[in-house]
Amino acid sequence: MPRATLVYWPLLLVKPEAKLPVPDYVSKLGGPASRYYRALETLAALDAYEAQVALQRFKSKARAISRMPVPPLLNPNLTLAVHKRNFWLGMIEGSDVCPIHLDPGKRWKLDVFGMLALQLVLWIWCSRIDPDPDRVRGLTLAHSHLPVFEQNDSAHTWWRYAKGFLHDSSRRWCDEEGVRALIPVSCQASSATRNTYFLRKVRERFLSFAPPQRAQTHR
């Protein structure tokens, strides 16, 4: 599947394949990393270009850091397993191989709305790390200058781009069968109310993926 554009917008209405095996070097990073891996594998198997890029980069980095020597454990309040996991996660989040937060305490959902939001994050992320001025009416040039995706104004800036892409694409997402079935009866009165609910849920999922600010994580 080629890169997404506003003309060719292959967002997939899917959930992660729950029974996909996870490599040991990924499972040691914790539950969120395993769920992220399964989400990427699910999307990549359906030929989603951005997920394929993210999966290859994530697997390569996770495999490499699993072979690195871990600094000595100096905090008596941590187990060795947690210490190793924190070290590996720090190496992941200190690089640009994963745009979302994988800390085990982080709460985000990978339901249909969450998978749509993840695809939007991956699209902007791919545009940022590998801009192509001809891809989306020149907008990728702006993506390349976007700040890192974090829990501050930058996450909301990313969302404004994502929301704009949803509006500019030709599909009416709130009326897609796979989405409409998830919208409560109270929000089914009109296409406008359905769209409001749809955008709210995708926005919630989108912003929940954002990592803490750099000053907090020392990345």
The three-state DSSP-derived secondary structure of 154-167 is HHHHHHHHHHHHHH
pLDDT per residue as tens digits for the range 18-71: 889 999 999 999 999 999 999 999 999 998 989 999 999 999 999 999 998 888
Q: Is residue 37 within 8 Å of 93, Cβ to Cβ?
A: no
Task: Quote the pTM value.
Answer: 0.86
Which residue, chain included where needed, has tokens 């999922």?
Answer: 205
Q: Report the pLDDT value the prediction gives residue 1, as an integer from 0 to 100.
A: 52
Q: Report the pLDDT value the prediction gives residue 215, as an integer from 0 to 100.
A: 47
Q: Is residue 118 within 8 Å of 16, Cβ to Cβ?
A: no
CA distances from 193 to 99, 105, 169, 182, 183 (A): 31, 33, 19, 13, 10
Could you tell me which of 3, 11, 8, 1 has the C-alpha nearest to residue 162? Answer: 11
> Which stretches of the chain drop beneath a pLDDT of 70?
1-9, 131-144, 168-170, 214-219
